[in-house]
Amino acid sequence: MAIGSTARKVLWARSSNVCAFPECDQQLTVNLHDDGSKSLEAAGIPLGEEAHIISGSKGGPRFDPTYPAEKVDTYENLILLCPTHHRLIDKREGAGFTVETLRRIKSEHELSQRRQKTGQEKRDDEIELRTIAAIEAWADRADLTRWEGVTWKLNAPIQRLKESEIASFTQLGEWALTRNWPSAYPEIKRAFDNYSLILCDTVNHIRKSFQPIEGKEEIWEIYREYKHRLMSQDGYDAALKDFEYRSDVLCELSLELTKAANFVCDAVRSEIDPLFRFEEGALPHRVGDGVFSNTFTREEYGSAERDRTHPYPGKKAIEARVREQGGSSR
């Protein structure tokens, strides 16, 4: 587990980017783990460190085997410090600073910082925290940690989905469509509006094209009429062509959905959290049957697409692309 965006934002906002150690008052800069941060550090600019009050590692500072592992990287177990005081509290496995002492230091520091803020600053902090919390809720609902598995199911030679997965897609589409994003973050709002458009088109395409497999009602696939009744050769060819067309459109929609999701991640990093999915990187787009072929690609909008209000061109354009290509891009 790693420190999430919400925990990080709450910690930095309530600490006002200042070291929590008594009488330090060192103004801190976020470490983006990039060349710019290295240059700042080399120039003597202190980078903030999100220190753990209770270590998650056996033998670490103030390690407590009874402390829940899922709480180690949460806001309640973090304190913002400068590098000097982080090293100080962790010396000799943290023997000089108890858990209770660090919690008191953190609480007193955050209360002191809050008293110095204006009403508008407090409201701005709350909007920022609520926004990043909604973004983390999206990341969980969209299953970003398993994105390659999501796209693979939409790109397999025979696309099949569980009924519960279709329901999750539908619920996510409704959630995305009804979000109100603060005007303070115009790129995030634009990215989510774009994501909502492609997601709704994908859900509608699945709903119109899929039917439950006979005898396995919990599994759905694109309806193949030629498998369910006798028909002439011309009828068979037309039904097969219809199946392939619906399958290819879904493949193209999954590609566009990956672009849109990566566009959202870029907007979040640009406007609110530079470290959002920093370690995980871009969402991968997976194509293949998992046996004879298995390809991962990085799908993102180009500069011309990003210049449009909505980079996603719309389902009609996707359908035209499939017809022009004679199939999908897989």
| pLDDT score, position 164 | 94
- Cα 52 to Cα 23, 63, 154: the distances in Å are 20, 10, 41
| pLDDT score, position 95 | 84
| 187 and 109 fall within a common domain | no
Q: Examine the fold and report which residue of 66, 101, 116 is the final residue of a domain before the chain moves on.
A: 116
Give the number of domains in the chain.
2
| 110 and 257 fall within a common domain | no
| 160 and 67 fall within a common domain | no
Residue 82, domain extent: 5-116
User: Residue 127 domain-assigned?
Assistant: no
| pLDDT score, position 292 | 61
| pLDDT score, position 92 | 85
| 72 and 171 fall within a common domain | no
| 179 and 279 fall within a common domain | yes
| pLDDT score, position 102 | 96
| 269 and 321 fall within a common domain | yes
| 91 and 204 fall within a common domain | no
Q: Which residues sit opposite 287 in a β-bridge?
A: 295
CB-count burial class (<10 Å; 0-12, 13-18, 19+) for 116: exposed
Q: How far is the C-alpha of 324 from the C-alpha of 320, rounded, in Å?
A: 6
Query: Residue 285 half-sphere exposure, CB side, CA atoms within 13 Å?
Result: 20
The stretches of the chain forming alpha helices (DSSP H) are: 5-15, 35-42, 83-90, 99-116, 119-141, 147-155, 163-178, 186-209, 233-271, 303-306, 315-325
| 204 and 55 fall within a common domain | no
| pLDDT score, position 70 | 93
User: Residue 261 domain-assigned?
Assistant: yes
User: Residue 241 domain-assigned?
Assistant: yes
- The single residue listed with the structure tokens 């004679």 is 326
In sequence order, what are the residues at sequence separation of 6 or more whose Cβ sits closer than 8 angstroms to the Cβ of residue 268?
A: 5, 132, 135, 188, 191, 276
- pTM tops 0.85: no
Per the CB < 8 A criterion, the answer to whether 328 and 154 are in contact is no
Per the CB < 8 A criterion, the answer to whether 202 and 254 are in contact is yes
| 297 and 170 fall within a common domain | yes
The pLDDT profile of the chain, 330 residues, written as one tens digit per residue, is 688 888 998 999 999 999 999 999 899 988 777 777 788 777 777 789 999 999 999 989 999 999 999 999 999 999 999 999 999 999 888 888 999 999 999 999 999 999 999 999 999 989 999 999 999 999 999 999 999 988 899 988 889 999 999 999 999 999 999 999 999 999 999 999 999 999 999 999 999 999 998 888 789 999 888 877 888 898 888 889 999 999 999 999 999 999 999 999 999 999 999 889 888 899 999 886 555 667 888 999 999 999 999 999 999 999 999 999 988 876
| 102 and 148 fall within a common domain | no
| 86 and 147 fall within a common domain | no
Element (H, E) at 50: strand 49-52
| pLDDT score, position 290 | 58
| pLDDT score, position 32 | 73
| pLDDT score, position 64 | 93
| 99 and 149 fall within a common domain | no
Q: Which residues sit opposite 297 in a β-bridge?
A: 285
